[in-house]
Structure 1
């Protein structure tokens, strides 16, 4: 085999380094490492598996670096990958339909989870017979066809860099890495694992199921993890979850002894209770071989598929990651594999150097051949006897892909041999022996079902998306460790059916998953909303109560929502309650009080009217224009009664009648007072000799004045009703928890015009009465009218601003009170004194008895106050 001349210096330098490392005499601590195990056959498959972990110490620079002096530890569970290759090769050799008349063999090399050791093993594979001679093969006939290896992306790259020089086919069984799909850089590398492009979606669904929004991420510092971090970050932001911290483990420190105590304490110190670990066994080895503090018992670990959380050194306990939830690739059960594992013993494979070393380490046997027969290390011990952290009798995903990779190479070789033309001369051995580079076309088109009827393809464009079983790292009742399936994530299934979990089957160590709060801030309950904390992730927030009129009926709401107008928030502000319909009812104390007042004073007014009618011929009644007095009393009765239109449930009819009836009857009352006042003035004017005003002192004039003034108000009310009349409406805002049924004015301008006109009449009555208050007449009403109009105007002047500032029932009650107060003021100031005279002092109601008093008042009268005729 030849390579370009430019690469010869590199290979020569590599050979010199390896030769230097192999000089036993320079390093007394040198440990002789047997590099490979093999089984010969017509054609050979190479297998590169990380069976040992080699610790790496820092290089002080004071002595020559030599890795042989570093300690090694068995990675016992990885030996299942070797057994998967052996099982597949034995099956293929027994199958007459696959590679007939051809026997497969294998050479197995240990890659040590080390870049340097992987390169060394690759060079031994290329050179043959365990030698490390660059660009030279010690084999007489090269029967090596393909390499199966690369448990991790880093190891695949190291192998691929060297094997690519000779176009050796390499089938990587480690996790799928998009970087290895670059056919310009790695044209001879094939990946058999399915793609993990949907892994982050499954993890997010698990987080959402348990409402975990505050999580930590631990990943190796490589490109594959950067892609995972990007996908997780985008999906977490979309689902309002946050990353508490991101711990990136440098690839150079994955097995560094001095770094084993550095990462785990930082992870444990985080406030995040849920930790997501993504990576492979190689890159995260430092975590598994670190001894974390006991606080780890209070963490939930979510592990991605290619990190075997159960694997650990024999001197470390397994409590650290108990309860972990593991996303493991779904794989089909390979028939006969478990029986094969049960039958594996030293006696069955006496020449397997790796099996012997595994047996000695796993069963803690003395490393002396003559003592392996002792009772404490029987040759026929079974792998079933080993605990889970040493060996798993269930085929692991990496072993499954090793098994499928062997079959992929076998089928590709079978297709290549079947397509070769028949050779007449069997003496041409060089033609008969296939070359490794000839296998590529068949490998690229490999498409078959393995013995478990699972589809296998090496074309990365057809490579399917992985399906996942969700496993739980648990303890059985006898304290044996076990992996239990508690759910699955199948991205190909419809949304809503792609993720399932059986929560009751989850063993979570000391934690209760139902009550675990993996959040930055405790949840905001119903009735509260979230307010982001400045400078912190969106998962960190404060909780503030919803403002008045708004609710939040779910926890962790970003904003509160308003209740419909016919509903109101309850005290907890977590739900809306139907508002009760309310109005100024007779049944409530205020309505009942106002109703009693209206009825009482209307009855009192009626009694006074009856009293005046009964004593209509007495001087006090006759002197004050009986017709106007009767009109005023009747209008006051209606004024008191019209207030009842404002009490009780409003209707369309009462809304139309309320303000208009009040305006008209009050206008009649005020017009009557104005007419009485004017008639007093005219009466005194007419007493002068030769006065022409005497003709106006007639009852018809007063009645006409009342009719004209009232008619104007009737016209105003008619226009109001015709253009924009009052209507029935609701007020859902004035009283919390209530919808007030009320009458709307329709036109505020018309309403204030009615009040304004009535106010003008009242003001005119007040001014005229004030001017004639001192006229010398025994029954002069000017003083009483002045006081009544003063009360009337005061009430309505106070009413207007208060009415504007009131809403709902208070506004209605205020108007009723103003109606009653002004009516009582008129009744009390004008008619109560007269009633007192009629009932209590009848002597003052006699004409003869009052003449002397009238003469006395006439003497004291000052004429200058009267206007000139």
Structure 2
């Protein structure tokens, strides 16, 4: 960068200090008691001089004047003249201005800033160097990169700089830029507005394009920090400040191959133009563009030609305000070609495509073609240009507020009363000799309301209150392209209500006319969870169905949650339902059949008992030990009835009863059969000569044996109940979707002893009956017992695998079936033949017949 320094010379012979050389800058000037400086980007093309330093470098030539930016410069002049006419602000003090064109070049902008703070007028003798500095503050620069460089210089002199368009969040750092203020919100707030807009529409997969300068790179950094809170960046591409087609084509290629449908572009309008042109030429559509404030309202880009690709663009725009009287002031411009108002002269020549003779006199007119001469009386209102269009006045309004902020600060300074001042010893500053650092003190605390009702103030970082318009590129009723305001972002609003949108006014440039979708992976519905894809951003994921017993109730749930113990997930995995409670009920068919069978078996046992009691004096009953038969029938009836304890919802009582009744009644039953078997064997042995065994195993011994066998089982049961009794429990091990209500046996050892004791007695009884099956007893009692015990053992042996493999309530059903089957087997095998004789063949129920059978055997 080449930087010229303004120098002075002084000698005793010539006591006047004279400026040796000045920068050749284009600008506007009006003298005043207090001068304000301004820097504007009026020209957007620059001819760079030869910098080989073989000779003195020539000046930088600025060309291609921008009418809209020239309007910005005159807005500053308008605001100053309006303040000078206002008797309530700075009475008896006239504000002046010196405005320069920065030609959109940092080198020129630095020269302009240097010239403003050093002055252009001749400096007289040292004793005459009094009064305020050349300028006390600067309005500008509009570019963030320029403002960063200029503010580093101005900060050394504590000279305030109020920018109307520099939005880089880095400029909020008061340690590095202590004298920087701005009437445009920081990019930090612009990014927040963009992110809220993106989040509002659920665009979680976003591409970013930004210029390779401070404005673009700081914005990208802030945007990444905000978007990563809920979304992801699909790609980041840098846009060169100096247009390079190869780099632009690289950006285009990234856009084409990315799945992101929403793209954010942080760029100035000049830098965005080549990209917009290339996208239009390649007809890349189906993208939702979000424009930063630097190009969101650029009418040179929002054209019919670009509408196919960029129609529907959302933009963050600085709020605009109508400035009364501005257009009238703009139409009164009157250039003087021989004055230092050379910027106005350039504007006039550009507007009317003519030349002033005074300017041509400085060149060799013989070498120029015939030209049209300017008279200076041409009618500006006859031309429809952006210069006279004050409808899009965001920048102009910010300039207007900046000038008024400085004026109000100076007015407070001038209104200070001695002894009540803010400076050392409560002193006040002098309005006729005001210093920039004194002005800064008042500027920090400024707080006033414009005629439009908008409050102007600066926060601790020198930033303006953040409020933006949300604009949308669309067609008006006449088919012309317009940049329409469709919402507002107000940082000062209630949290969560900062963004307000008029949905009905928004135009969507998509075939369906609906809101586009921009996600790497579609949202996971309730009932599933997100599973991140390895090596990809968190927004790229697969949706995995929740496992059984787990649910998710939110969209894009990161994990599934287990249902409570008594609940289970529905098939969709989005709701926990109460588990189906399962137990063998009296109300279902199986329960009814089993209960009816149990009652029938018990009734049948009692019926047989009645038959036997009624016929107790007959030979058949007497010959089969009637007392044991009666006890056996009672025990069988209990065996049938104990199965009823297994039906119905388990409770503490029936869990205790079911196994105790089962164990005791079956031991009583088997004990009776065992004693009957022993009696049969004893009876046969007693018929042999000299054998008196029956006297040792009489009725008392038989009763005692049954009692002892039964009491042993009772002791086992009591011990079991004391140590670890059965209790109702909920079983979810085998069927997760169901709660199986069952009785937990409590002690496996106790239950094993109970079953083992029954099995031992059954085995002994079976062996004895099998050995005595061929003895010549009456009606083959031993054979009937052998057959009954064979049935009993077969049932309970087959019960074990069936019990283990049966699920849920069928486990209990198998157990009941085993009880009923074994009980029916004993009842039918032992008592059916006898009932047959008693009821159907009474003629055979005689002692003679019985003795005859015995004799025959």
Q: TM-score, normalised by structure 1?
A: 0.79
| Shift, 1:666, TM fit | 1.5
Aligned to 2:300: 312
Structure 2: how far apart are the matches of 1:798 and 1:824? 16
Structure-2 residue corresponding to 1:322: 311
User: 1:751 maps to what in 2?
Assistant: 751
Q: 1:648 to 1:416 in 2, by over 3 A?
A: closer
Distance 1:229 1:126, change over 3 A: closer
Name 2:713's counterpart in structure 1. 713
- Judging changes above 3 Å, is the alpha-carbon distance between structure 1 residues 554 and 511 closer, same or farther for their aligned structure 2 residues? farther
Aligned partner of 1:52 among 36, 43, 50: 43
Point out the more displaced range, 836-845 or 206-215. Answer: 836-845
Aligned to 1:156: 147
Equivalent residue for 1:864? none
Following superposition of structure 1 onto structure 2, how do residues 615-630 of structure 1 map, counting pairs within 5 Å?
615-630=615-630
Distance in 1, matches of 2:682 and 2:65, equals: 130
TM-score by length of 2: 0.80
| In 1: Cα distance, 2:245 partner to 2:344 partner | 27
Distance in 2 (CA, whole Å) between partners of 1:359 and 1:847 is 151
2:259 pairs with 1:271? yes
The match for 1:424 is: none
User: Does 837-846 or 653-662 show the bigger shift?
Assistant: 837-846
Question: Cα 1:753–1:353, aligned 2, differ >3 Å: closer, same or farther?
Answer: farther
The residue correspondences of 1:514-533 to structure 2 (distance < 5 A) are 516-533=516-533
Q: What corresponds to 1:443 in structure 2?
A: 440
What is the CA–CA distance in structure 2 between the aligned matches of 1:48 and 1:444, rounded to whole Å?
23
2-structure distance, mates of 1:811, 1:830: 29
- Distance, in Å, in 2 between the alignment partners of 1:355 and 1:116 is 22
Q: Show the counterpart of 1:249.
A: 239
Is the 2:472–2:485 contact (alpha carbons within 8 Å) kept by the matching residues of 1?
Answer: yes
Deviation by residue 1:89-116 (Cα, 9 ceiling, x = unmatched): 2211212333434433333332232234
3-state SS, counterpart of residue 247 of structure 1: strand
Indicate the SS of the match to 1:45.
strand
Query: What is the CA–CA distance in structure 2 between the aligned matches of 1:186 and 1:587, rounded to whole Å?
Result: 86
Q: Distance in 2 between matches of 1:575 and 1:481?
A: 51
Output the CA distance in 1 between the equivalents of 2:587 and 2:662: 23
Alignment of structure 1 residues 538-687 onto 2, 5 Å: 538-687=538-687
Find the aligned partners of 1:161 and 1:462 in 2 and give their Cα distance. 15
Q: Secondary structure at 1:298's aligned position in 2?
A: coil
Alpha-carbon offset, residue 244 of structure 1: 0.9
CA contact (8 A) 2:585 2:648 kept: yes
Instruction: Tell me the equivalent position of 2:21.
Output: none
Range with bigger deviation, 223-232 or 825-834: 223-232
CA deviations 1:516-540 (Å, max 9, x no partner) are 3321111111222221111111111
524 and 10 in structure 1: CA distance in 2 versus 1, 3 angstrom threshold: closer
* Aligned mates of 2:244, 2:100 — CA distance in 1: 23
Shift of 1:319: 4.3
- Does the C-alpha gap of structure 1 residues 576 and 167 become closer, same or farther in structure 2, counting only changes over 3 Å? closer
Distance 1:115 1:562 in 2: 63
Show the counterpart of 2:16. none
Deviations 1:104-140 (A, max 9, x none): 3333332232234434555666787899xxxxxxxxx
Q: In the aligned structure 2, how far is the partner of 1:274 from the partner of 1:69?
A: 40
1:598 and 1:640 in contact (8 A); partners too: yes
Hey, what does 2:162 align to over in structure 1?
171
1:61-80 per-residue CA deviation (whole Å, 9 max, x = no partner) reads 9xx9x999999655454344
Residues 54 and 71, structure 1, Cα contact 8 Å, conserved in 2: yes
- Tell which deviates more after alignment, 521-530 or 350-359: 350-359
Partner of 1:861: none
Contact 2:3 2:111 (8 Å CA) reproduced: no
| Maintained 8 Å contact 2:581/2:741 | yes
1:209 to 200, 215, 229: 200
- Whole-Å separation in 1 of the counterparts to 2:202 and 2:469: 20
Distance 1:296 1:695 in 2: 116
CA contact (8 A) 1:303 1:327 kept: yes
Aligned partner of 2:393 in structure 1 is 395
The aligned counterpart of 2:703 is 703
TM superposition shift of 1:745: 3.5
* Unaligned stretches of 5+ residues in structure 2: 8-23, 123-131, 357-370, 419-429
Query: Take 1:70 and 1:593, find their aligned partners in 2: how far apart are those partners?
Result: 109
Q: CA offset at residue 556 of structure 1?
A: 1.3
Deviation at 1:665, TM superposition (A): 1.6
CA distance in 1, matches of 2:789, 2:118: 126
Secondary structure of 2:829's counterpart equals helix
Query: 2:140–2:164: 8 Å Cα contact kept in structure 1?
Result: yes
Q: Distance in 2 between matches of 1:492 and 1:448?
A: 15
**2:211: which partner in 1?**
220
- CA offsets, 1:469-516, max 9 Å, x none? 433333322233444444444444443344444433332222779753
Corresponding residue SS for 1:380: helix
CA deviation vs aligned residue, 1:669-703 (integer Å, no higher than 9, x gap): 11111111222232233334333422124223222
The Cα offsets for residues 345-370 of structure 1, whole Å up to 9 and x where unpaired, read as 376678777568668878xx655789
Change (3 A) 1:433 1:462: closer
1:380 aligns with 2:392: no
Between the aligned partners of 2:513 and 2:746, the Cα distance in structure 1 is: 62
| In structure 2, C-alpha distance between the alignment counterparts of 1:553 and 1:184, rounded to whole Å | 49
Q: Is 1:260–1:289's contact at 8 Å kept on the other side of the alignment?
A: no
1:344 matched to 2:337? The reply is: no
Change in Cα spacing, 1:300 to 1:178, as seen in structure 2 (3 Å) is closer
Moved more, 784-793 or 671-680: 784-793
Structure-1 separation of matches of 2:551 and 2:432: 77
3-state SS of the aligned residue for 2:381? Answer: coil
Shift of the 531–121 alpha-carbon distance from structure 1 to 2, 3 Å rule, reads same
Give 3-state SS (helix, strand or coil) of 2:165's partner.
coil
Judging changes above 3 Å, is the alpha-carbon distance between structure 1 residues 721 and 835 closer, same or farther for their aligned structure 2 residues? same
Structure 1 unaligned blocks of 5 or more: 1-6, 15-32, 132-140, 422-431, 858-869
Does the Cα contact within 8 Å between 1:471 and 1:485 map onto a contact in 2?
yes
C-alpha RMSD of matched pairs (Å): 4.5
Secondary structure in 2 matching 1:218: strand
The answer on whether the counterparts of 1:149 and 1:170 sit within 8 Å (CA) in structure 2 is yes
Return the alpha-carbon distance in structure 2 between the equivalents of residues 319 and 56 of structure 1: 34
What is the alpha-carbon distance in structure 2 between the residues aligned to residue 731 and residue 366 of structure 1? 96
SS across alignment from 2:38: strand
**Equivalent residue number for residue 788 of structure 1:** 788
Alignment partners' CA distance in 1, 2:781 and 2:283: 99
Match for residue 126 of structure 2? none
C-alpha spacing 1:129/1:451, structure 2 compared with 1 (3 Å): same
Given that 1:532 and 1:541 are in contact with CA atoms closer than 8 Å, whether structure 2 keeps it comes out as yes
How far is the alpha carbon of 1:558 from its aligned partner?
1.6
Deviates further, 78-87 or 599-608: 599-608
Secondary structure, counterpart of 2:331 in structure 1 = coil
CA deviations over 1:795-819 (Å, ceiling 9, x no partner): 3334345435555312221211111
Return the alpha-carbon distance in structure 2 between the equivalents of residues 372 and 806 of structure 1.
110
Per-residue deviation at 1:459?
7.6
Match for residue 426 of structure 1?
Answer: none
**Aligned residue number for residue 406 of structure 1:** 403
Q: Which deviations, in whole Å up to 9, do the C-alpha atoms of 1:641-685 show, x marking residues without a partner?
A: 222232234455433322222222222111111111222232233
